[in-house]
Structure 1
């Protein structure tokens, strides 16, 4: 079972459940976390609670493709994990400007260390949903999407759902100096999540999500690569445990788990490209790419 948010005919946001046969049932909640709270209060699992709500009710007489989808959750914060896949480590090592060092790099060290790399990726005002544009940073010439599985967690660190995330990244900025990571990762519309949240209790094996990224230019497919979460070096609970350690985390926080899909090294996103990230159990997260033109400040 998946949870979505969409705009109804009156431009009001609606939370809805999508069953495995793709029937859509609007729910009397304002937010994904309301489902988790109400189910717990009723002593039921989220799926059983939703089934009680929708039993005997008519489904929405629309197809999912007809809806104006929103971010499935207005996450107060989105955090991200880095260098959790071998391919990610290789890409980070390639892009670094310090090619003279033949020894162990900082990326090699974090890949093998007990402590993972975790960083703040986005906030609710910087995060967009399906079909909204992600922006290209104006001071970077080497930008790519990073397709990732996202964990939706409670403030205690319980994983209550899975979603898709696009961790937009500037390879040249981070490659110049790892201390530039925040600038390589965080700017306006630099993160997208969606199109739905798969309730965690409905996933038999979360280490078997197949992730596919497709990039279109002038309506032509120019990049298509796939990976599987079985390639992940770290466990989800391990990543979550480091995020919440001595940290204040909010209900509905999303933690992106890293990527194993990196476009060719000679590839960079361009204005008017379109990015699709698919995990069959969750859906397809599609976003157009737009240039973010830096405005001149007049004193």
Structure 2
């Protein structure tokens, strides 16, 4: 175990019901004790959670720890995004996770005024200057739609040159992928902080499904061990905790700027990792 003080942040998705919101607020209280840099709130494909995301952002931000909305451009217009950004600026939101977003599966006709995340970054910089810190996505194991790793790096550089302030990676379980990606970024003159995204392992089926969707790789040795424990939930969670703790320990030795945790609206797995690392926020 190691003792460290690093910036940390946590990600939530907006619940659909009042009961879900109440449960999330209980998780929020437990994670807030770590005084994170911020809580980020996801934005559904094609803006499908727009109103719920906005309300959760405003509610959490009012509690004292900054809330950071995700904002995607697929399915939104210049007008609708500007109205939303005006609201965020006027209520003191200082950071935006700026994404392309995915096409919603059940919506055939969506707004198409933006095509890529760098266009959204450019739009926000043109209209709001430096009012927001813009955080973009990075893919150490290459975006699933990219032609190859070099093409993906070029696309990432476009976002940086458009005005991105920092990046959060897709989750991964191979620290070499992150180290190689950061090294290649530095060779391209990219100097913004790149925060590793950390996904706790608690359920093999869900993890496999998420990974297929986003192109994240589950190393074969981890996959096989998870299969060993598929009928032993407690053993699987213990194994997952060890794997992610060791990953985080390795990342700390690489001099990362901080951690971003994908909590899936659950505090316990993330809190156990933080406890193992003896990690406290640097904020």
* TM-score of the superposed pair, with normalisation by structure 1: 0.24
Higher helix share: 2
Higher strand share: 1
* TM-score of the superposed pair, with normalisation by structure 2: 0.25
